[in-house]
Structure 1
Amino acid sequence: MLENIPTSAAPALNRTSVALIRASLLKFAGLLVSVFLLAACLLFYVAHDLDTVEEHEGIFYINKAIKSVEKHVTTTVKDYASWGEAYKHLHQMVDVDWAFAQANIGSGVYKNFGYQGVFVVDGADRTVYSVIRGELKSVDIAQWLGRPIDALLNEARAAAGKEAAVSTIVNFGGIPAVVAASALTPGNDLTVEAVDGPVSVLVFVEPLDSARLQAIGTDYGIKALRIVTHDKVSSTTVQLGEDGSAGHLLWELEKPGKKLLGFMLPLIGVAASVVWLMTWVLLRRTTFAAKTLEDNYASLQTSQIALIKSEQRFRDVAEASSDWIWEIDAQGQLSYLSERFEEITGLSRNAWIGADLDNLLRFDSGKLSQWLKMPKRHPNTSVQCSYIDSQGQARIARLHAREMVDEGFRGTACDITDEVEARRRIDYLSQHDALTGLPNRTRLQAFLDGKLRAVSTREAPLVMLCLDLDRFKPVNDLLGHAAGDHVLNTVSKRLGDCVRTGDLVARIGGDEFVLIITDMSSQDEIDALCQRLIHSIEEPIALGAQEVFVSASIGIAMAPNDACEAAQLMRYADIALYEAKAGGRHTWRFYAGDMNAKIIERRRLESDLRYAIKHGELRLHFQPRVRIVDGRLVGAEALVRWQHPVHGLVSPDTFIPIAEESGLIVSLSDWVLTAACESANHWPNNMFVSINLSSTEFRRGNLVARVQKALCETGFDPTRLELELTENIMLVDATGALEIMRALKGLGVRLAMDDFGTGYSSLSYLRSFPFDGLKIDRSFVNRLGENEKDKSVIQAIVGLGRALSLTVTAEGIETAEQLELLKAVLCDEGQGYFLSRPLDSEAFDLWVRDKKIEQTGPPIPSH
């Protein structure tokens, strides 16, 4: 428009423009002053707010720190109070020797936790046990604290049923102290029975002196945390106890707002000075420029118009903000490309100038030129396009565009190929297992939901196979997790090779896989698939110079035959898998309705077994062991039986696995140890009792201490106790097993390897571990007499035992011929139905009296 102004009117127009510019500059300067004043006010407000927030955070972290101390003390006192031994030695009776001399609840509480006061208050609120700063004292807790704590004791007794602890903070000699109390209970110790009457209460006291507060402050980033006197209490102090009765805490408060003011106010002042200086300079330059423009106005018209267009162009580009800049004319042909175009794409700018934009960038929903001309398209929207770089690789770009005044479009393009690939990778990892690359539980759920919505029929059901590897845990334990990962990857590939393209193989954790199979209706097809899967998995897996063998168990559920919901289908497949494992592993089972009933019955038996151990429903039977050479009775093996009030006599094969899985095996074994030793106390002194130990119990419980406790409680001679162990005990942790066995030998008991000959490494164990005897598995004895080969095997085992100075016992003697053959190979001892069936305790005592231990012939068979 400026080119249309007459040249003669230019000076007057210029002077008017100068006056308008000067007025605008003054107004702009006034506006900046207002902005600086407003900024200063906001700065003061922010500084005050920062100081307030800092104060509130300090109070919050102090309260949190004190609560943490209270929680630690209450947790510690609850753990001690719910200890069955503490209940027996500090409530049922006050055993100072156990508590203080044996350091169970004595000076160690002060040394380890810093609790200056440890008290036991009986049901009559009398202090019956007290330890002050690690020393045994006779002092009343209320007298020591300087205040009664009846309310706290009552609250602790009220929480006895929940095995919970309570606490409070009191003023203790001018400093706050945390007082925590918990009622003494038997806890989970089934061997300790509760007594009636008010319970005793265990109390721990931890004073919060200056050193303790300093340590707490260091842990929570609170400077100079300390106790203040009453005359220095203010709004910034923290109250302890009810209404500050236990004292007040003060700390060194940071002042970030003050620091902010000291830094920002000078900057605002300098900025205001600079603005005023710039305004003054601009006013002078404007006056000078006006005089210059009067002389050269005509020659500058063209340059000024070009400058306006340039500023407009780069203003649009700045708003679009991208990597490389492009511009097209009204026909959609490229008229401008920035230098960054060549750096990003590797393509030549000159080669593409004049070409159609649609040939460079491709848009999935049509032509890019059509998207640019869409009506009511928001100027700030972007679109994702693709292009081919100089290397022939497909790349992805995000395009921004604005319409120009003189038609055409300009904008920016940003290469986002790496970003898109990263997003795709994240999406993939969120639905796939990182180790095997198989779909994970999330992908399985989505796939299963989609298939179930397709409404499967009974003629074309959806089949779910839940597959779990057998013998995989020893691979991890013995060869390491790297070997286990290799096995899992190999199995994953083999599973994928066994299914079709439309099926799904997923890993849902550990060594568990799920397969979703479609278009497989007959049971014969499913059986064939399971057989193929197990056969493929059982193929050897190479690990360096050695081979590893694993197998699998499979549980099968089908929709809609068994269930129509994903969670229920998975649950039924898991139940079928459990049945497959119980059926001997490396097999498969289809879900059936009675399987769920079996699991419910198994859980009921577990509950009944827990009751049976505690209420005397267990019985011991004893099977005699005789010396084969002369028939003398040398001892007996203790066998546990369960007299169920409804099901009658329950076999150990039924309830022992339940006890091992539920963790009841320790309590069950303790009962057997005690009962067997008590019964054997009535036998002749030269007879021993033999007890089987479970491999699960061997790893879980404190076996040495438990055996020692049973021997002490019954007064039984440890040399008359024999513990039978199987190879499974030594397979997982041979070093740990050897340490436990040496400790048992230190007690004086005998150790025997049970079921010898059924494992692959028995000989090495016999040479390395401190066994006193071995028991030949009944499977070898049952075949005696069939051929000379079986006799040679027995003779070799007996020779091995003699070479290692071990007593050899044969199990399962059922015929006179077997007994004679064992005598011929000089086997030491034997047991079995030919000699005697297992007898209950009374019948066995009678049997011992009838068959005197000095007899010279074999005992009369008792059938």
Structure 2
Amino acid sequence: MPLPAELARLPGKAVASSTATRHSLLFMAALLLLLFVVTSGGLVQIALQQNARATEQSLFYLDKAIRAREKSILATLKDYAYWGEAYRNLHVTVNYEWAYTRQNLGPSLFQDFAYEGVFVVDPQGRTSYSVVNGQRVSSELGQWLGQDIDELLEQARRQTEDEEPVVGFAQVGGQAALLAATGFTTGGDPQVGIQTGPPSLLLFVDLLTPAKLQALGQDFGVDNLRLVAAPADPQASPTLSLTSVGAGPLWLHWEPAQPGRQLLYLILPLLGLGGAIFALITWLNLRWAIASAREVDASYASLYASQQALAASELRFRDVAEAASDWIWEADAELRLTYLSTRFQTLTGHPVSSWLGRPLSELMQFPGGLDAWLQGCNSHAMASHNCECQYRDLDGELRTCHLTLLRIEDGPMADGYRGTVSDITDELQAQARIEHLLLHDALTGLPNRNRMQAFLEGKLKALSSASKPLVMLSIDLDRFKPVNDSFGHEVGDQVLAEVSQRLRFALRDGDLVARMGNDEFILIVCGIAAAQEVERLCARLIAGIEQPFNIGSHTIFLGASIGVAMSPADTSEADELLRFADIALYQAKGIGQSSWCFYAKDMNERVIERRQLESDLRQALANEELRLVLQPRYSVSSQRIVAAEALVRWQHPQRGLLGPDSFIAIAESTGLIIPLSAWVLRAACREALSWSEALIVSVNLSPVEFRRGQLVAQIRAVLEETGLPAHRLELELTESVMVEDAEGALALMLELKGLGVRLSMDDFGTGYSSLSYLRTFPFDGLKIDRSFMTDLHAAENSQAIIQAIIGLGRALALTVTAEGVETQEQLDLLRKYGCDEAQGYFLSRPMPPEALRLLC
């Protein structure tokens, strides 16, 4: 009996099904293999791109480092070449004593800046002055460099008139070298005559030794920076080419970071393992499908397998939809929501069921409205469209998202829509925080210099058209440095944060307060022009800052100095307004703490005059213009000289004899106080050798000198050089050296006592904690400040203070000296109260050393 036609066709169906199944599975295996290859290739490409970005970044920072080094050597070269004294002593004539011996253009350039070569080339091209590794030599420039750089020197001569130095690279002794050259100019000094003809050239040579290259690379995050020969393949090896003034370029090589290599080492093995597992599963499925298809019920098994495959596909879609970071939506032709993935509830907090059937426009807020956006979408023939919109989550928070929309062309949902929604709120907030950090100070949250500059320029531009005033206040905190030194930077940071809050509260909306540096702030105030209003604001700001700061268990007191510049009264340029405010601040700090000062045009002249006086003071030390004077100190009981205080005067060639008030502050602010004090100490010790052996010489120490750390060695060297017994030298210290660093001051004073010298506290009674200092520190004497002597005879409270200080000194076995004695009555009262010594104009004025010898 023949089989039914349907049953007879089953074997053929089974064979066809088996072949189709085998081909399908082979195609899937090939597709998976292709996917694996594409994924691996993409991963390798990403790794290579990461490595390339790392190389580009290191190249950027290396180029930035080279430019910074060029800028540094050019700035130093300008300071020395565009200087009237250098023009006179190295172009008009070659003064080796001025240039090398006085170290105006000598060893200090090697010691301070590590410039191995300093050369002066005269207009004829001869090397007239050369310093190599800090030593003066007679080498010719071309001989030392080993090459001809006439082209660079000629360019430097051409650009001298514009005061534009030139810079270039060369290879010197197998090492890269940075060359900077320019011609000497008078620097605008009217006292220096200008010579006709081409100028002499000043050239600095900075050898980029292996050690310098390593340090330069480490400063900018570039590893193993070194000079190499020309690379065989510049594309494969990260190098930076430096154009050389000699033959051929110079090549810098370094080891760039390789982030992509780590990515490959981590991901590729996992990807290979996954591919092997997929291949194994595919092979097993192929064997199983072929065996099943050969059975009689292959057609039914194939149908069943198809149903299972469909179910698996739906399950995979559901799993992918729920595992994705986005949520998926579908809507009908009227844009009423028909499907929302369960990820919707996870991200928004809203139940899915509460939004099904509701319009999409109720959930999402589109810019300009949903209808307007859809019109724009329909006018562009694209497969999908996207826009940035907003929605509110279950807590009412407004969230920003990225929505994609795709129109469904066929199937049950024809003319409907589907798409995805990505929440980008956190990304936008992170971007906003980054932009905020770029324009604001991280510690205080105040605008930084960049934000202040933009705000100031915008305000000046806006106010100039309306002719409205603008006031800039430059604020510097008084007594802030001891806060960091005494309590630590954490407390200092909290104080700065509190100061910023107080400044914010003192200003109106529309004004700005910015932090410029450590304890420097800038305030920009609009709409006030009267000086009285500005002064009231300054007084209010200072009063706010002077309120105590309670940080933890510490109570801290600060003050503030304020410099004021106004626009358009002073200037309408932003940079000049900042500079004028700084000049006014400098004047305010000179007046005293907690004060303010308005900018005046003559302040700029005084700054220039001060700079000239600073330059003259540098020459005074070398030209022996300092003069030693001595003021005797007498025993109150016997009225005999027991000591003399060493003082200094400056015999200025144009201004005559200057007292210390004219130049000591400049010397302290510029560091010249160190050589000046060394001169006074040496001269005083030598002079004391001509006195009676019972007399003591007293020398004042500057707080700046006290902090430098070489004081003990310097005093020991002077005592050994002059032969003066240590017990005949007395050092006078002010209380400020102990306020700034009490522990360090005590250790240094104990070392000085170890030398055998005497220590005396100067200006006693003017500090708030002098009593504790006398008990803690190893003083031999104290000097009563002259302010207590002014009305000693008439004021009973002054007499009581003097009597108390003398009693305190006696109790602590200290020698008490009264300064500023100007009348017989004052001397009689000091004798009555048992004061040990006295000093003042009534007894003797400061006198030259030869006059004091006659009294000894």
Partners of 1:311 and 1:13 in 2: CA distance: 31
1:709 matched residue in structure 2: 717
- What is the one-letter code of the residue matched to 2:504? G
Q: 1:774 to 1:34 in 2, by over 3 A?
A: closer
- What is the one-letter code of the residue matched to 2:480? F
Aligned partners of 2:22 and 2:290 also within 8 Å: no
Kindly state the Cα deviation for residue 743 of structure 1 after the two structures are TM-superposed.
1.6
- When structure 1 is superposed on structure 2, of 658-667 and 599-608 the one drifting more is 599-608
- Deviation sequence 1:30-58 (CA, Å, 0-9, x none): 9789979999x999x99xx9xxx9xxxxx
- Deviation sequence 1:192-251 (CA, Å, 0-9, x none): xxxxxxxxxxxxxx9xxxxxxxxxxxxx999xxxxxxxxxxxxxxxxxxxxxxxxxxxxx
- What is the one-letter code of the residue matched to 2:834? L
Aligned partners of 1:361 and 1:368 also within 8 Å: no
Q: 1:26 to 1:705 in 2, by over 3 A?
A: closer
After TM superposition, the score normalised by the length of structure 1 is: 0.66
Partners of 1:13 and 1:441 in 2: CA distance: 85
Partners of 2:673 and 2:578 in 1: CA distance: 30
Aligned partners of 1:29 and 1:279 also within 8 Å: no
Aligned partners of 2:758 and 2:780 also within 8 Å: yes
Residue 813 (structure 2) pairs with residue 773 (structure 1): no
1:345 to 344, 348, 358: 348
Aligned partners of 1:458 and 1:560 also within 8 Å: no
Aligned partners of 1:464 and 1:514 also within 8 Å: yes
Kindly state the Cα deviation for residue 558 of structure 1 after the two structures are TM-superposed.
2.4
Residue 763 (structure 2) pairs with residue 760 (structure 1): no
Residue 642 (structure 2) pairs with residue 642 (structure 1): no
- Deviation sequence 1:464-512 (CA, Å, 0-9, x none): 1111111222333333444433433332222222211111112222221
2:793 matched residue in structure 1: 785
Partners of 2:622 and 2:779 in 1: CA distance: 33
Kindly state the Cα deviation for residue 379 of structure 1 after the two structures are TM-superposed.
4.8
> For 1:152-551, what aligned pairs fall within 5 Å after superposition?
277=283, 281=287, 284=290, 322-367=325-370, 370-371=373-374, 373-376=377-380, 379=383, 382-405=386-409, 406-456=414-464, 459-543=467-551, 547-551=555-559
Aligned partners of 1:357 and 1:369 also within 8 Å: no
Q: 1:341 to 1:285 in 2, by over 3 A?
A: farther
- Deviation sequence 1:139-163 (CA, Å, 0-9, x none): xxxxxxxxxxxxxxx986889799x
Kindly state the Cα deviation for residue 23 of structure 1 after the two structures are TM-superposed.
10
- What is the one-letter code of the residue matched to 1:700? R
Kindly state the Cα deviation for residue 537 of structure 1 after the two structures are TM-superposed.
2.1
Kindly state the Cα deviation for residue 683 of structure 1 after the two structures are TM-superposed.
1.2
Q: 1:32 to 1:506 in 2, by over 3 A?
A: closer
Q: 1:33 to 1:804 in 2, by over 3 A?
A: closer
1:696 matched residue in structure 2: 704
Aligned partners of 2:385 and 2:406 also within 8 Å: no
- What is the one-letter code of the residue matched to 2:345? E
Kindly state the Cα deviation for residue 745 of structure 1 after the two structures are TM-superposed.
1.6
Partners of 1:300 and 1:796 in 2: CA distance: 110
1:815 to 802, 805, 823: 823
> For 1:779-858, what aligned pairs fall within 5 Å after superposition?
779-846=787-854, 848=855, 853=856
- Three-state SS of the structure 1 residue aligned to 2:582 is helix
The number of aligned residues is 650
Q: 1:11 to 1:689 in 2, by over 3 A?
A: same
- What is the one-letter code of the residue matched to 1:419? E
Kindly state the Cα deviation for residue 581 of structure 1 after the two structures are TM-superposed.
0.6
2:118 matched residue in structure 1: none
- Three-state SS of the structure 2 residue aligned to 1:839 is coil
- What is the one-letter code of the residue matched to 2:591? G
Q: 1:599 to 1:368 in 2, by over 3 A?
A: farther
- What is the one-letter code of the residue matched to 2:595? T
Q: 1:751 to 1:295 in 2, by over 3 A?
A: closer
2:675 matched residue in structure 1: 667
Q: 1:841 to 1:703 in 2, by over 3 A?
A: same
Partners of 1:26 and 1:338 in 2: CA distance: 31
- Deviation sequence 1:291-345 (CA, Å, 0-9, x none): 9559999x999x89x9699889959998996521100111111111112222222
- What is the one-letter code of the residue matched to 1:284? I
Partners of 1:272 and 1:424 in 2: CA distance: 44
2:107 matched residue in structure 1: none
- Three-state SS of the structure 2 residue aligned to 1:683 is coil
Structure 2: runs of 5+ lacking an equivalent: 1-5, 53-100, 102-130, 146-172, 176-209, 211-221, 225-260
Partners of 1:271 and 1:388 in 2: CA distance: 44
Kindly state the Cα deviation for residue 638 of structure 1 after the two structures are TM-superposed.
0.4
Larger radius of gyration: 1
Partners of 1:401 and 1:435 in 2: CA distance: 44
Q: 1:381 to 1:554 in 2, by over 3 A?
A: farther
Kindly state the Cα deviation for residue 775 of structure 1 after the two structures are TM-superposed.
0.9
- Deviation sequence 1:158-197 (CA, Å, 0-9, x none): 89799xxx99xxxxxxxxxx999xxxxxxxxxxxxxxxxx
Kindly state the Cα deviation for residue 668 of structure 1 after the two structures are TM-superposed.
1.3
2:693 matched residue in structure 1: 685
Kindly state the Cα deviation for residue 715 of structure 1 after the two structures are TM-superposed.
0.7
Aligned partners of 1:638 and 1:690 also within 8 Å: yes
- Three-state SS of the structure 2 residue aligned to 1:456 is helix
Q: 1:294 to 1:713 in 2, by over 3 A?
A: closer
Structure 1: runs of 5+ lacking an equivalent: 1-6, 54-91, 93-153, 168-177, 181-205, 207-219, 223-255, 854-863
Kindly state the Cα deviation for residue 637 of structure 1 after the two structures are TM-superposed.
0.5
Percent identity between matched residues is 49
Residue 600 (structure 2) pairs with residue 600 (structure 1): no
Kindly state the Cα deviation for residue 388 of structure 1 after the two structures are TM-superposed.
2.2
- Three-state SS of the structure 2 residue aligned to 1:452 is helix
- Three-state SS of the structure 2 residue aligned to 1:638 is strand
- Three-state SS of the structure 1 residue aligned to 2:713 is helix
Partners of 1:771 and 1:678 in 2: CA distance: 24
2:149 matched residue in structure 1: none
Kindly state the Cα deviation for residue 276 of structure 1 after the two structures are TM-superposed.
9.2
- What is the one-letter code of the residue matched to 2:453? Q
Partners of 1:515 and 1:610 in 2: CA distance: 37
- What is the one-letter code of the residue matched to 2:290? R
Q: 1:354 to 1:271 in 2, by over 3 A?
A: closer
Kindly state the Cα deviation for residue 692 of structure 1 after the two structures are TM-superposed.
0.5
> For 1:112-191, what aligned pairs fall within 5 Å after superposition?
none
Q: 1:457 to 1:595 in 2, by over 3 A?
A: farther
Q: 1:364 to 1:289 in 2, by over 3 A?
A: farther
Partners of 1:289 and 1:453 in 2: CA distance: 90
- When structure 1 is superposed on structure 2, of 642-651 and 356-365 the one drifting more is 642-651
Kindly state the Cα deviation for residue 382 of structure 1 after the two structures are TM-superposed.
3.7
